[in-house]
Structure 1
Amino acid sequence: MSTPLSLLQARNTTGLHTSSDFRDYRDHQTRRLERLRKALKIQTRHTKNYKPKTISKENVQSDSRYLEIFFLLAERDWAHSREAKSLLESNDSSSKRKYIVSKLSRSKIYIKQAIDLIDESDKFLLLQTYIFENLLQATIYFESKRFNLAIPYYSLVRVGIQTLLTNNEFTLSEESKDTLKDFVSTEIDEALRIASFKKGVSRTLNVSALSKKQAIDFYEQAKSTHVKDEKNSKVTHIITYYDLIESIDPDAFNIGQSEQEASNLTEITWRNHKANLDDADVARSILNARKLEEDSDLTNVLSFDGILAAWQEGLDIIKDDIERIEAETVATHESNIQQKHIISTYISYNILFRRLQRDYLLISQHSERQKNLKSAINKVENFRDVIRLYDTVLQSTSQLLELPGVSKDHDLFDSLTTLDSFFKSQKIDCIGESYDLSGDKKTALALFKTANDLLKESQALTVEFPGSFFTNEILSRATESSSNKLVRSHALADIEHRTSQSSSRSYIANKINSFPFGSDSDIASKIADFNPKISPVSIKPVFFDIAFNYLNGEYSSTNTSEPINEPSMESKNNSEAESETKSTKRGFLGLWGR
């Protein structure tokens, strides 16, 4: 059987966003209703003598599905109201709001009828139905913009759902519990925050404590009204609902010590700026984060997850408040939003520094691991991981420098610039180590020089950072270590350069302006080249083609092994005379031809 709680879960899991989603959901409930009526044989036809079927307590006791009819009817009208709201959102008016409220009111009527039919011994089903009724009433007041009345009803709903979630006798799967928790955080808590903001209710307690306090005050008010008007059904339902919760869990309305402590944190100070904490949820998140920082082992990387989550929770809440205030174009909110921005900067500042501390701890662990690695390849791979971590660190330092108000605070800005320069130099130094391992001493020297210059140009810190993980002492040690590394790298690069020169084919006799470097035997062997050898000279093939044109028949003899004798002067003269005679005797009688 569908219960009110299962219907609330269905809303959260179905994914209802647009008007078509709500229409499909409403049609689905209508079909379920028709099937159920058919199964119970109470379907009716629209005739002139139509009368709705009445359902009695005896019917419900014999078959609980009779009660489900009222739940489905209520859910169908609720879906109709949400569909209408989605369609009319862009063009709001009082008449349209009345239409939405009328659908919600009809849905509430069905739930009231269901409450009258439920056996009082079934406490958990009765409580679920009361939760459904109060949620509808809270929605009606919210849509009517009567936020002062919506707050106590939402508070009653929240306390009721929390009672069911924490009660061991009421069995719920882990998935159902998670769905209900999501429903509380996204629907109930959000509606309480908006209603509190609209009515200017001081939220010196968090949502949980606020809902309990509002519910208690509403119950006391209902009791005083009940004395004067005993027939008031609304007041009777409130009193019955409150007593029902207390009968299931006597401590349901007790405000815990941690919730009370949050009310004591009313102001925060960041640098020279102060801001009032009027949101208890933010105060609770800040207190929770501070407590985790005190109790956690900050030498363990996993300890930072809870701390960062607590700070992030407060930041999300304060950002939502800022967006909500900025949407209200009212001049009276200027001082309020200024304080919200101070709180946002304060939380962001702490988040970024805890993230820096965590990442720097990871880098330290990689550095320790580096000492145990023997292979140069593994060391270079480890350096790549460290460089990626330094990229994340530099993103955080960049975000710190861009926080509102930092640029105007010269001491803080200079200290953060020093912190940024420190991590930049460490990253460059890490890259230099990689080049040094790979044998490129010249590039490593250039990188070490850049890293050393960054550290030497950095100013001393004038501001103490959260966690004190970076101090002037650490900066001075890093500068000294970088200078020593630079000297060592310079020496190694010089040795490499000289060695490369000494191992080249040039001799000391050809380098009279430089001092020889190396052992005695090396110097003696490189004084001069005592065994000169003929070396091939590179030449272009076209030169052979040109030379070939000047060869005559004598040089093209097949017997290449015979020596070639030079012709004598007489043979040269004879050959020249013959060639002249041949040149004159051309053609017939020397007159024609060539």
Structure 2
Amino acid sequence: MSEAANFIITFKENASGEDIQKYKDEVTSEGGEINREFNGLMTGFSAKIQPQTLQAFKEKASLDGSPIQFIGERILRSLQVANEQQSAYGLRYDDFARYRHVSFSWLKISAEPISRKHCANRTHRLRSSLKITHSSSKGRDFRKLPPITELPVDKVKDDHLQLLLIESERAWAYAQELISSSLLPANANNAASLRHHATGRFRRSIHWATQLLSLAQTLYTADKLTAESLLQVTAYVLLLNGRFLLSREDFESALPQLSVTRRILDILADHATTSKDHALAVLWADQVGPMIRWSAHQMGREKAYDVDSIVAQVAKENVKELVDGWDGILKKFRDQVEPGDANTAAAAAKKDLGKAKLDQSKLMWEGENVPVRNPELVDMLLKVQSAEAKFDSTNIAGNKGNAGKKAVAAYDAVLAALSDAEEVAKKLSESEAQKASSSTIPTNLNPGGGTIRDMHFVHTYIVYQLLSKRIQRDLLLVDALTKEASASPIGLLVGPKNVKSKAKHSRSSQQVQPVDPRLYPAIVKLFDTILQSLTQMRTLSIVDDNPDLSASVEGRTAWTKARRCLILARCYDVPGIKKYAEALTILQHASVHLREVRGVASSLDLNDASLGKAFYPISPSEIDELDGVIAREGMEYKRAWLEKGSSALPDGEGKQQQQTQKKPVFFNIALNYIDVDIDKLRERAGKAPAPATPAAAAAPSSKAPSTTPQNSKAGSAAAVAQRKALAEGLSRSGTPEPRDVVDTQAQNKPLAGGNRLGSLLGGWWGRS
């Protein structure tokens, strides 16, 4: 066995039992010593291990992306635990009552829902797991337990540290709730009592935090806790002390505490091994900055707004006094996060953590990095970059058949990740704005407009990326439908492809096969979705602030409208529907939109990478080709309209369309107001009934019964009166001739119902 050293590997229990037994046998066979301690999901091995065995362990075991510790030290991420608890239970909106109380509405024991204290429940579960509750097993006798800080180092567990942290959080949240209540007008009479009670709870919180720091220092001295964990606990305790002193308006004592806290957080951020750790340190630093600025302002310091210079000056003077063994802790921390030997296992573990870091080259906007200052957002963006990496591995350019479906699936995965990130960013942006406008806690100053501005910017940036990917996915679907359309004999193309072969033959001479009627509406629907995304993109603040980018988006909007009009015009030129007038009108709109595109392209390069080449490139050649397609198809529509008329329909369809044709609207309205002589109208229309023959007229007279002279005289008088009234009616100005009836029946025999412009009102108009 080669030269060995003692290591303790802390890892998550994801190695199988066979592997553990294998390595255990390997070590014990060489005379090594095994010390296995199982605590939850953590298992420690102390042994003489060969380098290759150590490498195998390192590959199989990791701690949630955190570096594997090789010196027997546990990790306490106090800042992360506190941030997760606060974010999950209401402190994102400064809702301290919710942080302390969680309602379980399903327990309908009484009319009021039973409320449980979240922090109290948490501490109770921790005490139960550690078996340090305040009573005996039978629940009758009180038993005072020794302080946790007096426990032997070997018996201290992670739950002991977390218990002290949650106890401190519980007391601090109660103090903040009491301070908030004292500021309400309804509690004006009890304000002093509430503030006094809040001060007591604040002191209790500091008491628990001090015990946590004392226990952490003991573990650190015994090499049972990492330097990073000790720095996080120290920063948490100093921040709590600074808040308390700030509430007491002791600004001279609060400024050193807060400045040292900011210094520690800056060091943690600069040496963070993952993007989530960096964002966590920056998040806590953003909370400290406004407090430092307020304290410096109250003390009358010059340039109180320059927080960095104040921290550099004050922290340097007080850090050694407030942090015991500062130089040694800092040196050990840097040695752990920056190993000098690149071949060491720690360096290899750190190198593997690169997967947990965000690729800042992909988070750029106008040459600057996008600020990500929240751990939740980091997790979402890591998922986005992972989906984008899988998407980049898909060869879209060479996709054919089923490969196109894979590309669409890759787009859907990216869109799903971006949607989740957008939801989280929106929630964080709204919470920051609400906290800034509604906070009533003097000691919990909001981070200021800078943090709100950054969060709003990140949200709009994610929305921009989401819309661009959605447009790119829709364009891919348009291309897929275009290929399907180009396979048909009539050459249904969205773009200018295969136009020359189509222009060689007129439409009248082609043998056209029926096309799927759902094809054109599907393409138009996709263009509608693209237009909706472009319209939403134009309203984003990051687009509106950039004149070139806003003009580029407007140009792409006009380009999409032109392509949509081209497809919409073809919807009126399919077998069974020949509406050339409507098609030509829509093509005129397409020409107008294309002129807008040319106007934008004359001043901007729409194919430039900085203006959206990644999701919607437009080249000058494509503009010229689309213009040619519009001109050629417009000429074909005019030629077909002149050759066959505006109502050209296939043979056999005219009779059916004529039977369903509605009455002209004007004639339908006129009948409600004018008494028209139907016989006269038929005579003018050339459809008067044939006159009766003399024989036919004489036959009924011969068969008629004999009449008396009185009846004959009355009948002749009535006939004379009728002829006189008819003559008077003809002498008046005649009613307008309903030429539409003649034209419709004589000329537009095969016209489909509702094809005229007047039919837009419907045949029911004016019907009594």
What residue is the counterpart of 2:335 in the other structure?
Answer: 246
CA contact (8 A) 1:431 1:447 kept: yes
Describe the superposition over 1:280-331 as per-residue Cα deviations: whole angstroms up to 9, x where unpaired: 669x99xx99xx99x9989577589879969x99x969x9699779969xxx
Does 1:108 find its partner at 2:209? yes
Describe the superposition over 1:45-84 as per-residue Cα deviations: whole angstroms up to 9, x where unpaired: 999xx976356867553x546x745642442231221233
Distance in 1 separating the partners of 2:641 and 2:569: 13
Question: Judging changes above 3 Å, is the alpha-carbon distance between structure 1 residues 438 and 57 closer, same or farther for their aligned structure 2 residues?
Answer: farther
Question: Judging changes above 3 Å, is the alpha-carbon distance between structure 1 residues 353 and 5 closer, same or farther for their aligned structure 2 residues?
Answer: closer
What residue is the counterpart of 2:605 in the other structure?
Answer: 464
What residue is the counterpart of 1:448 in the other structure?
Answer: 587
When normalised by structure 1's length, the TM-score is 0.54
Does 1:390 find its partner at 2:527? yes
CA contact (8 A) 1:80 1:103 kept: yes
Describe the superposition over 1:498-530 as per-residue Cα deviations: whole angstroms up to 9, x where unpaired: 64599768xxxxxxxxxxxxxxxxxxxxxxxxx
CA contact (8 A) 1:74 1:111 kept: yes
Does 1:426 find its partner at 2:563? yes
Does 1:149 find its partner at 2:260? yes
What residue is the counterpart of 1:490 in the other structure?
Answer: 638
Distance in 1 separating the partners of 2:537 and 2:475: 16
Which range is displaced more, 337-346 or 448-457? 337-346
CA contact (8 A) 2:559 2:594 kept: yes
Does 1:37 find its partner at 2:115? no
Alignment of 1:214-363 (within 5 A): 234-236=323-325, 239-240=328-329, 243=332, 246-247=335-336, 250=339, 356=471, 359-363=474-478
> Partner amino acid for 2:639?
A
Distance in 2 separating the partners of 1:425 and 1:390: 10
What residue is the counterpart of 1:519 in the other structure?
Answer: none
When normalised by structure 2's length, the TM-score is 0.44
> Partner amino acid for 1:107?
W
CA contact (8 A) 2:119 2:170 kept: yes
Question: Judging changes above 3 Å, is the alpha-carbon distance between structure 1 residues 20 and 378 closer, same or farther for their aligned structure 2 residues?
Answer: farther
Question: Judging changes above 3 Å, is the alpha-carbon distance between structure 1 residues 44 and 378 closer, same or farther for their aligned structure 2 residues?
Answer: same
Distance in 2 separating the partners of 1:336 and 1:34: 38
Distance in 2 separating the partners of 1:377 and 1:122: 81
Distance in 2 separating the partners of 1:99 and 1:279: 43
Distance in 1 separating the partners of 2:708 and 2:370: 121
Does 1:16 find its partner at 2:89? yes
CA contact (8 A) 1:22 1:80 kept: no
Tell me how far 1:481 sits from its aligned partner.
0.8
Tell me how far 1:483 sits from its aligned partner.
1.4
> Partner amino acid for 1:235?
D
Question: Judging changes above 3 Å, is the alpha-carbon distance between structure 1 residues 472 and 131 closer, same or farther for their aligned structure 2 residues?
Answer: same
Task: State which of 461, 471, 481 in structure 1 corresponds to 2:629.
Answer: 481
CA contact (8 A) 1:436 1:444 kept: yes
Question: Judging changes above 3 Å, is the alpha-carbon distance between structure 1 residues 130 and 341 closer, same or farther for their aligned structure 2 residues?
Answer: closer
User: Which structure dedicates a bigger proportion of its chain to helix?
Assistant: 1
Tell me how far 1:97 sits from its aligned partner.
7.9
Counting matched residue pairs gives: 455
Tell me how far 1:486 sits from its aligned partner.
1.7
CA contact (8 A) 1:26 1:76 kept: yes
CA contact (8 A) 1:34 1:43 kept: no
- DSSP-derived class of the 2:146 partner: coil
> Which fold has the larger relative contact order, with Cα–Cα distance below 8 Å and residues 6 or more apart in sequence?
2
Tell me how far 1:107 sits from its aligned partner.
1.9
Distance in 1 separating the partners of 2:283 and 2:570: 53
Task: State which of 79, 85, 89 in structure 1 corresponds to 2:176.
Answer: 85
Distance in 2 separating the partners of 1:127 and 1:303: 40
Task: State which of 451, 465, 485 in structure 2 corresponds to 1:370.
Answer: 485
Describe the superposition over 1:229-279 as per-residue Cα deviations: whole angstroms up to 9, x where unpaired: xxx5723267337515734763799999999x989x99958xxxxxxx698
CA contact (8 A) 1:71 1:114 kept: no
Distance in 2 separating the partners of 1:436 and 1:336: 56
What residue is the counterpart of 1:138 in the other structure?
Answer: 239
Describe the superposition over 1:377-425 as per-residue Cα deviations: whole angstroms up to 9, x where unpaired: 9844343443333223223433455466988999877665443222112
Distance in 2 separating the partners of 1:79 and 1:380: 66
Question: Judging changes above 3 Å, is the alpha-carbon distance between structure 1 residues 225 and 234 closer, same or farther for their aligned structure 2 residues?
Answer: closer
> Partner amino acid for 2:264?
Y
Tell me how far 1:108 sits from its aligned partner.
1.6
- DSSP-derived class of the 1:37 partner: coil
- DSSP-derived class of the 2:262 partner: helix
Question: Judging changes above 3 Å, is the alpha-carbon distance between structure 1 residues 381 and 248 closer, same or farther for their aligned structure 2 residues?
Answer: same
Alignment of 1:521-536 (within 5 A): none
Describe the superposition over 1:360-384 as per-residue Cα deviations: whole angstroms up to 9, x where unpaired: 4443343224334689898443434
- DSSP-derived class of the 1:235 partner: coil
Distance in 2 separating the partners of 1:463 and 1:9: 50
CA contact (8 A) 2:79 2:236 kept: no
Task: State which of 120, 134, 155 in structure 2 corresponds to 1:27.
Answer: 120
Distance in 2 separating the partners of 1:417 and 1:126: 55
CA-atom RMSD in angstroms: 6.5
Gapped regions of structure 2 (runs ≥ 5): 1-38, 41-74, 102-116, 184-190, 247-253, 294-307, 341-345, 398-406, 438-447, 491-512, 656-686, 688-698, 710-768
- DSSP-derived class of the 2:605 partner: coil
Question: Judging changes above 3 Å, is the alpha-carbon distance between structure 1 residues 195 and 114 closer, same or farther for their aligned structure 2 residues?
Answer: closer
Describe the superposition over 1:25-58 as per-residue Cα deviations: whole angstroms up to 9, x where unpaired: 23214534664225996999999xx976356867
Question: Judging changes above 3 Å, is the alpha-carbon distance between structure 1 residues 191 and 60 closer, same or farther for their aligned structure 2 residues?
Answer: closer
Distance in 2 separating the partners of 1:112 and 1:410: 54
CA contact (8 A) 2:164 2:209 kept: no
CA contact (8 A) 1:387 1:427 kept: yes
Distance in 2 separating the partners of 1:334 and 1:244: 33
CA contact (8 A) 2:481 2:523 kept: yes
Question: Judging changes above 3 Å, is the alpha-carbon distance between structure 1 residues 340 and 477 closer, same or farther for their aligned structure 2 residues?
Answer: farther
Distance in 2 separating the partners of 1:498 and 1:441: 7
CA contact (8 A) 1:111 1:133 kept: no
What residue is the counterpart of 1:546 in the other structure?
Answer: none
> Partner amino acid for 1:474?
E
Gapped regions of structure 1 (runs ≥ 5): 167-180, 201-212, 227-231, 270-276, 506-536, 538-564, 578-594
Question: Judging changes above 3 Å, is the alpha-carbon distance between structure 1 residues 29 and 388 closer, same or farther for their aligned structure 2 residues?
Answer: same
CA contact (8 A) 1:127 1:244 kept: yes
Alignment of 1:58-97 (within 5 A): 59=152, 61=154, 63-64=155-156, 68-69=159-160, 71-89=162-180
Distance in 2 separating the partners of 1:198 and 1:338: 19
Question: Judging changes above 3 Å, is the alpha-carbon distance between structure 1 residues 350 and 32 closer, same or farther for their aligned structure 2 residues?
Answer: closer
Question: Judging changes above 3 Å, is the alpha-carbon distance between structure 1 residues 237 and 471 closer, same or farther for their aligned structure 2 residues?
Answer: same
Distance in 2 separating the partners of 1:6 and 1:568: 123
What residue is the counterpart of 1:541 in the other structure?
Answer: none
What residue is the counterpart of 1:192 in the other structure?
Answer: 285
